[in-house]
Chain A
Amino acid sequence: MVLQTNLQHVASEKDVLEVINNNENVMICCGRMGPMCVPVYDAMEDMEKDEAYKHVAFRDMLFDNPEAAIIRNAPECSGFMGLPFTMYYKNGKVVKATSSLQSMEQVKEVLNAEFAK
């Protein structure tokens, strides 16, 4: 399975570390091409075009990729039982993690709270 989105994909643990260390604000959605994941990718694609969120790097990662263990096994995701796992990093640290479908409004709420300019 591949992620058929227009987002930039991260494919390895090294990629994840690179993107979170080189960008102050990062959102990574780790999922499959399933019903609960697609709306989150779509919202991210829209926000990526939005001037208000130019300070955020949006990425996705395939949940079944063995290298996605960096997200799947993150302590912030313990107890998560719904795809996608969505991680928000500020200065390389996890500031928020959510499980399952999130609406654009819910995502914006997190971005505005955690990545305020």
Chain B
Amino acid sequence: MDNENAISFYIKDGIFAINKISMNTDFDVIIIGGGPAGLTAGIYLARAKMSVLILNEGSIGGQMVLTHQIENYPGIDSISGYMLARTMSKQAEKFGCIIKSNTKISKLELEGEQKTITINDKENFTAKVVILATGGKSRSLNVPGENNFSGKGISYCATCDGDFFQDRDIIVVGGGNSALEEAVSLTQYASSVTVVHQFDHFQAYEHAIEEAKANEKISFVMESEILEFSGEQNLQKVKIRDKDNNIEDKNIDGVFIFIGYIPQTEFVENIVELNSWNEIVVDDKLQTSVAGVFAAGDARATRVRQITTATADGTVAALQAIEYILK
């Protein structure tokens, strides 16, 4: 086992002391991603006495923390995504998982029996098994001006920012459930909501479409896309192109973007097999194309993406990882 030495200082009973501690850099399993899939895998593995390191790029909890209230997680009446993430994280640590958040994966060597992961360009960790539980992230339009006006007219969260748009004219981009449900929710603030969608039909469930269509404040611009955002200090205009290539400059106070999620798999491109949607391809044991590397949660190829399915994936990946290590 490789060890890296570290020194800590402390004061006990008025005496200054130096404590030399060993930081383990070799683990049975390294989990990349601290959302519900990764944390569940960590809990199962740590309870099975495996040494576990969870590396997380952003906030612990993944997309779960983006949910204000969770009311469909069995056994819990209602909880904020933040609190559920905190509870899962504490549970994982209680059983012995080491969690490092806000880390950046610099290098991955997953072939062979020993896997090596470098973070922040300087720290190396090794393991027998790696579980990829990197989840997804909100898709952005990637058009000029989008970054400049984020928080200054462009938003990705209706419940967070809706009240800044009282009596304003806004656009909602997207045609799925989130887009139409949030368009309806935003009508309690905005004077008008224009839904701009790139296709001639919606991907949302029928009830969401009906509710949006029945709302007098909502209008629809179909088969159109936003090309550019512009303004001075704040967003003032959008450029919209329709199916006939006509381009309109529309004055607008705000734009809410809900165009789905993409799996966070860029860093494993050319390392494990991905499908055409950049999702990680797995077998029925959640093993990827590389032996000893499993995938769980929203980053893997799957149709249903819920907190419950992510925790189920985390369980399966953990149990398969244990079997792989012990065989």
Contacts and interface: CB of A to CB of B under 8 A. Distances in A.
Interface of A: 4, 32-39, 42-43, 46, 78-83, 98-101, 103-104
Contacts of A79: 152, 233-234
Interface in B147-195: 150-157, 159-161, 164-165
Given A35-B160, A82-B155, 14 more contacts: A4-B82, A34-B68, A35-B66, A35-B67, A36-B161, A37-B160, A43-B102, A46-B102, A80-B164, A81-B153, A81-B234, A81-B254, A82-B161, A99-B151
A33 to B, nearest CB: 6
Contact of B156 (A32, A36, A42, A98): A36
Q: Range of interface residues on chain B?
A: 20 to 34
Contact of B59 (A32, A42, A80, A99): A42
A105 to B, nearest CB: 8
Contacts of A42: 58-60, 101-102
B234 A39 contact: no
11 contacts: A4-B86, A35-B66, A35-B157, A36-B156, A38-B59, A43-B59, A46-B102, A81-B151, A81-B152, A82-B161, A99-B151
Interface string B52-66: 000000111100011
Contacts of B159: 34-35
A107 B65 CA distance: 19
Given A38-B82, A100-B155, A103-B58, A82 B160 contact: yes
Contacts of A101: 150-151, 156
B160 A81 contact: no
B83 interface: yes
Contact of A80 (B68, B83, B152, B154): B152
Nearest to A35: B66
Given A36-B157, A36-B160, A43-B102, A80 B151 contact: yes
A37 B80 CA distance: 13
Which 3 A-B pairs give the minimum distances between C-beta atoms? A100-B151, A99-B151, A82-B151
A29 to B, nearest CB: 13
B160 A32 contact: yes
A99 B154 CA distance: 11
A78 B164 CA distance: 12
B83 A4 contact: yes
A99 B252 CA distance: 19
B58 A34 contact: no
A66 to B, nearest CB: 15
Contacts of B151: 80-82, 98-101
